[in-house]
Amino acid sequence: MSTSNGNGQPAQVPATATTIKPTDLRGILKYVPRFQGQIFVIALDGPVIADDNFGNLLVDIAVLRSLGIKLVLVHGISQQLRELSALRGVPITNADGTGVTDAATLDLAVRASSRVSHALFEGLTQNQLKCAITNAVRALPTGIIKGIDQQFTGKVDRIDKDFILELIDRQIVPVVPPIGFGPDGKSLRVNSDLLAAELAEALHATKVVYLASSPGLEIDGEIRREISIAALSRLMQEEPQRLADESRSKAIHAIKAIETGTPRVHILDGRVFDGLLNEVFSNEGVGSLVYGNDYQQIRRARKSDVRMIYNLTRNAVRREELVHRTQQAIEKNIDHFFVFEIDENIIACVTLYFYPDRPLMAEVGSLYVMPFYNNRGIGRKMVEYAGMVAKERGADTLLALSTQNFGFFTNVCGFEETSREILPDARMRTYEESGRNAKVMVKRL
């Protein structure tokens, strides 16, 4: 593989570089359609930027970009902050943005952050990538925790996602430093692991890649290659001592990212040559993969969800995409509803009904996904889940009726259009009474 220097001249291939064989290329190309257009948030820890492999890593980042993957870069500064503190003889209260940040630490953090962002700028420029540092992170002071004022440490309040997406659309790589801006425009130090998770949520990213200075999540003294969020959460709650200290922050934020909708989080050593490409483009990977259980955010609805379900579906009812249901009607049928929950908010719902006169047949309905969360596979998951429950309860046929989004059921969920004659008698009567003339679709389970 040849690289280019800042002047557009071919640079020397690093001595350690391997050449990509056509067979490897075929392996990589199979991932291209899958990842094209998706957003990856890549978080680089301070030591990764200071390491000799940094130049190679930027080439890997340029490769991902050239494959049509949309990248957002976040960086840490803890190593550079410690170095600056030692160099200037100014003690710091905290290096990673999780404890107290006093005024002197904030001042050094801003300087360290500028240097690190600049190093990234240089590297991206050498790889012909346009980039821009952003002030897209609005932060709020963390405040007083257990009686201690955290001073200039901040938590993410809001992310200006339109700004970041606009940059991406213009082929500019956004670089987000671990310094947020408070409502008064003043700087607050934010932990970069947290920042990456928050950005992934706001941007609907499909991956967070933590490029750390350790090889992955270390559990019981060994690097775990793959772990589900359910297993990792259980471990963190019940036996946190099994996880190495260096892995703790990544584990906490991987859980956060997945709980808020990012399907996968990779944690790997950013100083390993070819590590990033291997992790993304091979089934084995080189670091740790934390993955979400596809259905863990789906649960049966409860009476206390009625108002939220009503409010959620109101707009779709107005557009006649869904049948009108009063709060009382939802409450009466609450046992038929399943909801998808993020951060204790219901963002999608679906119903599953059985026909008393046809025990082998079930109907999926009232499917709604809040527009902010569209195109993240949630609608498909809800329908799949309803199908799974129907099958478990003995059904072999799933029906869906839709007036405007029938294409979703046929193109995305594997249903086929069928005649209304398939409806059981009682259902046919309510179908005709409704006058909606919905298309009827069927799927064999």
Ligand X SMILES: CC(C)(COP(=O)(O)OP(=O)(O)OC[C@H]1O[C@@H](n2cnc3c(N)ncnc32)[C@H](O)[C@@H]1OP(=O)(O)O)[C@@H](O)C(=O)NCCC(=O)NCCS
Q: How many residues bind ligand X (CB under 6 A)?
A: 21
Partners of 10 in the beta sheet? Answer: 4
What is the smallest separation between the CB atom of 438 and ligand X, expressed in angstroms? 8
Q: Binding ligand X by CB under 6 A: which of 16, 293, 374, 434?
A: 374
- Is 408 a binder of ligand X (CB under 6 A)? yes
- Is 141 a binder of ligand X (CB under 6 A)? no
What is the smallest separation between the CB atom of 162 and ligand X, expressed in angstroms? 19
Please, is 201 exposed, middle or buried when counting C-beta atoms within 10 Å of its C-beta (0-12, 13-18, 19+)?
A: buried
| Of 134 and 405, CB closest to ligand X | 405
- Is 411 a binder of ligand X (CB under 6 A)? yes
Cα angle 41-369-194, degrees, rounded to a multiple of 5: 25
User: Using CA atoms, how far apart are residues 297 and 308, in angstroms rounded to an integer?
Assistant: 16
Buried b (16+ CB within 10 A) or exposed e, 164-196: bbebbeeebbbbbbbbbbeeeeebbbbbbbbbb
Site for ligand X in 54-73 (CB under 6 A): none
- Is 316 a binder of ligand X (CB under 6 A)? yes
Q: Binding ligand X by CB under 6 A: which of 368, 390, 395, 441?
A: 368
Q: Binding ligand X by CB under 6 A: which of 380, 389, 414, 431?
A: 380
- Is 204 a binder of ligand X (CB under 6 A)? no
What is the smallest separation between the CB atom of 40 and ligand X, expressed in angstroms? 17
Which among 131-139, 266-274, 288-296, 373-381 is the span making contact with ligand X, rule CB under 6 A?
A: 373-381
- Which whole-number Å values give the CA distances from 7 to 2, 13, 54, 83, 124, in the listed order? 14, 16, 19, 31, 13
On the CB side of 208, how many CA atoms lie within 13 Å of its CA?
A: 37
What is the smallest separation between the CB atom of 261 and ligand X, expressed in angstroms? 11
- Is 321 a binder of ligand X (CB under 6 A)? yes
H or E stretch at 60: helix 54-66
User: Using CA atoms, how far apart are residues 57 and 182, in angstroms rounded to an integer?
Assistant: 32
What is the smallest separation between the CB atom of 398 and ligand X, expressed in angstroms? 13
What is the smallest separation between the CB atom of 350 and ligand X, expressed in angstroms? 8
Residue in 34, 123, 112 with CA at minimum distance from that of residue 80: 112
What is the smallest separation between the CB atom of 294 and ligand X, expressed in angstroms? 11
3-state secondary structure at position 222 = strand
- Is 34 a binder of ligand X (CB under 6 A)? no
- Residue 228 · residue 293 · CB < 8 Å: yes
User: Using CA atoms, how far apart are residues 245 and 250, in angstroms rounded to an integer?
Assistant: 10
User: Using CA atoms, how far apart are residues 370 and 382, in angstroms rounded to an integer?
Assistant: 13
Structure tokens at 96: 């990673």
What is the smallest separation between the CB atom of 411 and ligand X, expressed in angstroms? 5
| Of 181 and 431, CB closest to ligand X | 431
On the CB side of 248, how many CA atoms lie within 13 Å of its CA?
A: 10
What is the smallest separation between the CB atom of 363 and ligand X, expressed in angstroms? 10
- Is 340 a binder of ligand X (CB under 6 A)? no
- Is 407 a binder of ligand X (CB under 6 A)? yes
User: Using CA atoms, how far apart are residues 24 and 18, in angstroms rounded to an integer?
Assistant: 11
Q: Binding ligand X by CB under 6 A: which of 14, 405, 418, 424?
A: 405
- Binding pattern to ligand X, positions 385-404, x when CB under 6 A? -----------------x-x
- Is 365 a binder of ligand X (CB under 6 A)? yes
User: Using CA atoms, how far apart are residues 123 and 57, in angstroms rounded to an integer?
Assistant: 9
- Is 414 a binder of ligand X (CB under 6 A)? no
- The contact set with ligand X (CB under 6 A) reads 316, 321-322, 365, 367-369, 374-380, 402, 404-405, 407-408, 411-412
